[in-house]
Amino acid sequence: MSRAKWILLAAGVVVIAAAAIALSSGSPQPGLVGNRDVEKLRAEGARIVDVRTAAEFTGAHIEGAENVPLSDIAAVASSWDRSIPVVLYCAVGDWSDTAAEILTSMGFERVYDLGGGIVQWDGALAGGAGATVASADVETNGMPVMYEFYTDW
Amino acid sequence: MEPVVDRLRTEYEGVVEFRLVNAETDAESQALATRFGLQYVPSFVFLDSDGTQRDLVVGEVSEEDLRAVLDSLQ
C-alpha cells in the first residue's frame, strides 16, 4: 500500500473515532431517554418535570424535579423558555408521553420523555420519608411470596 | 387483575403470602420496584420461602398462568 493510501486510511479512522466519541458523549436526541440521559440533560440545565398529581409527587419524586400535573402543563409551560431542554416523567411513561406531545406542539425545541417513568428510575429520590432509597430488603415470613406491583389508574 | 388476585389470595392463604404494592405511592415502594428491576406495571414477582426470586411476570397474566407459578413455589 502506498504512503498516500496509508495516510487516507489513518485519516478515515480518526474521523470515524471522532464521530463515535461525539455521538456517545453528546446530548441525547429529543424523544424517549433513559436514566443516564437524564443526568446528562440535568447537567445541561434541563428542567426535570414530574407530570403526576401533587399527591404522587409528594410521595416520592426524582431529586430536583418540579411538579406540574399533566392537566396544568400547557398553562404552566406557556411562560417557560422554549429553548431550555425539558425532561418529562410520570409513573410508567404514558402521561409523560402525552405531555411531550403538548410541549412539542407548543414549540419547545428539546423535549425528552423518560421511558418507563419513575418506576424504573434507579437514581436519587426525594420526598416521602425524605430519604434517598437505593435498595430495599425483602424478608419472608417463612412462606413463598407473590408481589403484585400496580398503579391506581 | 384485581378479582383474579383477590380470588387467588383467598385460595392460597397460608401457603403463599400476597403483597400488593402501589408502585408510585412512596419512596419505599419505588425502591422495591427498582430492586426487582421493574419497568412496567402490572408486574408480578415471585419469591420462594427463603426470599430468593424465582420468577417475574410482566403485564396482564391469566389466572391459569398465575396458578402455575404459585404452585411451583410450594
Asked whether residue B26 is assigned to any structural domain, the reply reads: yes
> What ipTM score was computed for the predicted complex, to two decimals?
0.94
Asked whether residue B52 is assigned to any structural domain, the reply reads: no
- The predicted structure's pLDDT at residue A113: 97
Q: Is A98 a catalytic residue?
A: no
Q: CB under 8 Å to A1, separation ≥6 — which residues?
A: A9
Whether the pLDDT of residue B67 is over 80: the answer is yes
CA of B7, closest CA in chain A: separation in Å? Answer: 14
Mutual orientation of helices B2-11 and B63-73 as an angle, nearest 10°?
Answer: 30
- The predicted structure's pLDDT at residue A25: 54
Q: What is the mean pLDDT of chain B?
A: 85
- Overall domain count for chain A: 1
Asked whether residue A61 is assigned to any structural domain, the reply reads: yes
Asked whether residue B43 is assigned to any structural domain, the reply reads: no
Inter-residue contact A88 to A49 (CB < 8 Å): yes
From the list B27, B43, B45, the residue facing A128 with the nearest CB is B27
- Overall domain count for chain B: 1
Whether the pLDDT of residue A89 is over 90: the answer is yes
Find residue B47's DSSP bridge partners. A145, B53
Q: Which three cell numbers stand for residue A122?
A: 434507579
Which three-class secondary structure state does DSSP give residue A5?
helix
What's the residue count for chain B? 74
B43 touches chain A (CB under 8 A): yes
- The predicted structure's pLDDT at residue A116: 84
Asked whether residue A46 is assigned to any structural domain, the reply reads: yes
Asked whether residue B22 is assigned to any structural domain, the reply reads: yes
Which three-class secondary structure state does DSSP give residue A8?
helix
Whether A144 sits inside 8 A of B36 (CB atoms) is no
User: Among B40, B34, B43, B44, which Cα is nearest to B73's?
Assistant: B44
Question: Chain A: residue nearest B70 by CA?
Answer: A146
Asked whether residue A14 is assigned to any structural domain, the reply reads: no
Whether B23 sits inside 8 A of A120 (CB atoms) is no
Asked whether residue B19 is assigned to any structural domain, the reply reads: yes
A22 touches chain B (CB under 8 A): no
What's the rounded Cα separation, in Å, for the pair A52 and A91?
7
Range of the structural domain that residue A43 is part of: 28-126
Whether B24 sits inside 8 A of A151 (CB atoms) is yes
Range of the structural domain that residue B17 is part of: 1-35
Q: What is the mean pLDDT of chain A?
A: 82
pLDDT digits (tens, 9 = 90+) for A96-136: 999 999 999 999 999 999 998 887 788 888 865 333 333 34
Q: Which helix (H) or strand (E) holds A114?
A: strand A111-114
Asked whether residue A108 is assigned to any structural domain, the reply reads: yes
Asked whether residue B24 is assigned to any structural domain, the reply reads: yes
Asked whether residue A148 is assigned to any structural domain, the reply reads: no
What's the rounded Cα separation, in Å, for the pair A113 and A48?
10
Whether the pLDDT of residue B32 is over 70: the answer is yes
Tell me the Cα Rg of chain B.
Answer: 12
For residue A71, give the CATH number of its domain. Answer: 3.40.250.10
- The predicted structure's pLDDT at residue B43: 87
